[in-house]
A and B are shown apart, each in its own frame.
Chain A
Amino acid sequence: MREAGRYLFIQTKRVLRCFPAVFFMTLLLLAAVGLVGKSVIEEKLSDDKKSMVEIGVVGDVSDSYLGIGVMALKHLDSSRYAINIQMMDEAEAKSALQAGDLAAYLVVPAGFVDSIVSGENLKITYYTRNSQMGIGTMLMNELSVIISDFITKSQNAIYGMQSLCRTYGYDDIYWDATNELNVRYIDLILSRTDFFEIEVLGVSNQLSMVGYYICGLTVFFLMIWGVNGCPLFVRKDFSLAKMLKINGMGAFYQILCEYLAYLLLMAASLVGIFALLGGICGMAEFSVPEWGKADFETILSFGVSMLPAACMLTAMALCLHELTGNVISAMLLQFLTAASLGYLSGCFYPNSFFPAAIQKTGQILPSGVAIEYASQSMRGEVSAGILLALTGYTALFLMAIYGLRRRKLAKN
């Protein structure tokens, strides 16, 4: 045990001596991961903006009521999936629909308003593509039905009243009043917030997009951080390990001491980085839906809460180092493993984007377990099951390292 204590002391001294260089390297890795994260999040936000539904309108909408209705559709909508109305001819609309520039277009037949007045019922035709029959288009279908129904029925009533006024010779007196009634009616009817409400439930793991990517990229960062340990813990020459064994310190104590020293280095880097991020985000007034304002304390406490995941990923990194005997190979292996696991488990895209089989595989991988832990930590509801999974994986990696070390010592 004395020997183990000395070995742990020496390993700790090594990692602390290397900490400035490791922290600098960590900052570089953080910058790289941050750039990846920024471009991924910006792409996703841009996709959200594109969800504004482009609708073409074909036909003569110069009639005061229909024109007001179209204008109301254009300007009164305040929901996230706003509708943008574009006036165009039918050929242009058809071409735009096929090119995907329009979600749909409406064709208002000539004399539509007159037909309502005269008691006919010409229909507004709604064109869309089959592939567009998603929830947004279904909503648009319903909206078109509702709006056309409201416009025709309300206008039927108002035109009916105007016709009655004309019959009894009151048109001069009540004409302006009925016009105003019509406008106010359309105005009230077409306040879209009364038609539907859209709530975005989040990308995955019940988190917002920003929250999800913070979790995913944190896990990716922790995996890729393992390259820092390669110069310290990858070895070709096992003579020191053999000397330690001769002095009574077998593979078990060697690995335990190396793991604890490595974990200390990881923990110090993690806390340092998140403290730095907390300071920067606090000054920039960055906000995350799950946290509100992401201040220094919030970000630092999230970083500290990631320590259980860091324990598992440190063990995984040490296991990868034990597999290789060369620093360059070890660094390449670390990068490849981080990229592959990160991709499969949803560090770069929400896991829900993948087919079911890959989703399930991604969830049970160490990276998937780490992302789930990070998500639960962000939501403030960490389960015993996920902690057990983290512990299980940590133990599995440490046992693998023990087996490898014993084999290497026995092989000279």
Chain B
Amino acid sequence: MDLTINHIKKGFKNKSVLEDITFSANRGECIGILGGNGCGKTTLLSILAGTVSADGGSFCWGGKELLASKEPRSKVVGYVPQGTPLFEELTAKDNLRLWYDRKEMLHQLKGGVLELLGIHEFLSVPVSKMSGGMKKR
């Protein structure tokens, strides 16, 4: 198994939110996490993304334990948040500069993921004037 999650648990103020979460997946598989309101879906994803620490358990990818590692999780985990992590006053290009060096951005715009998403079509548009779909891209 490429992805292994074992016995993850998390509590806030003496209230247990996640208890003994265990699952695994292979490369290329797609897993959906379903649950009622407040059941801990976002908490679990935040733990896997690295923004929240777990009280116990392990998260392994490619045989490497990630929960205890201090390396930025972004190297192995892609995270799409619920909100819109963009600055409304700036253009798409300026917002991308937050995540890419100039050289890297130009590379991605020509044949990379940014071209695939069609971002080059609205690079100079201020975020405040974009549609919801454009913002999500």
Contact = CB atoms under 8 A, between A and B. Distances in A.
Interface in B41-61: 42-43, 46, 49-53
Contact of B74 (A6, A239, A246): A246
Contact of A9 (B42, B84, B87, B97): B97
Interface in B61-117: 71-74, 77, 79, 81-87, 89-90, 94-95, 97-99, 101
A245 B53 CA distance: 12
Contacts of B49: 242, 246
A167 to B, nearest CB: 102
A7 B100 CA distance: 11
- Secondary structure of the B side of the interface? loop
**B77, B89, B95: which has the most chain A beta carbons within 10 Å?**
B89
A18 B97 contact: no
Contact of B50 (A237, A245, A411): A245
B46 A242 contact: yes
Given A6-B98, A10-B87, A18-B89, A246 B50 contact: yes
A2 B103 CA distance: 14
B87 A14 contact: yes
Contact of A14 (B74, B85, B90): B90
Contact of A239 (B71, B77, B85, B95): B85
A76 B83 CA distance: 79
A302 B51 CA distance: 45
A6 B50 contact: no
Contact of B81 (A2, A17, A242, A410): A242
Interface residues of A, number: 24
Given A10-B97, A246-B73, A248-B74, A17 B90 contact: yes
Given A13-B90, A17-B89, A237-B84, A245 B98 contact: no
A183 to B, nearest CB: 81
A412 B83 CA distance: 11
Interface string A241-283: 0110111100000000000000000000000000000000000
A123 to B, nearest CB: 82
Contacts of B90: 10, 13-14, 17
B123 to A, nearest CB: 15
B86 A412 contact: no
B84 A239 contact: yes
Contacts of A110: none
B29 to A, nearest CB: 22
A409 to B, nearest CB: 6
A237 B84 CA distance: 7
B94 A13 contact: yes
A13 B77 CA distance: 29
A412 B43 contact: yes
A219 to B, nearest CB: 29
A356 interface: no
Contacts of A291: none
Contacts of B94: 10, 13
Interface of B: 12, 42-43, 46, 49-53, 71-74, 77, 79, 81-87, 89-90, 94-95, 97-99, 101
8 contacts: A6-B101, A10-B90, A10-B94, A17-B89, A237-B85, A242-B79, A246-B49, A246-B77
Given A6-B98, A232-B89, A410-B52, 8 more contacts: A6-B99, A7-B98, A13-B94, A14-B89, A237-B83, A239-B83, A239-B84, A240-B83
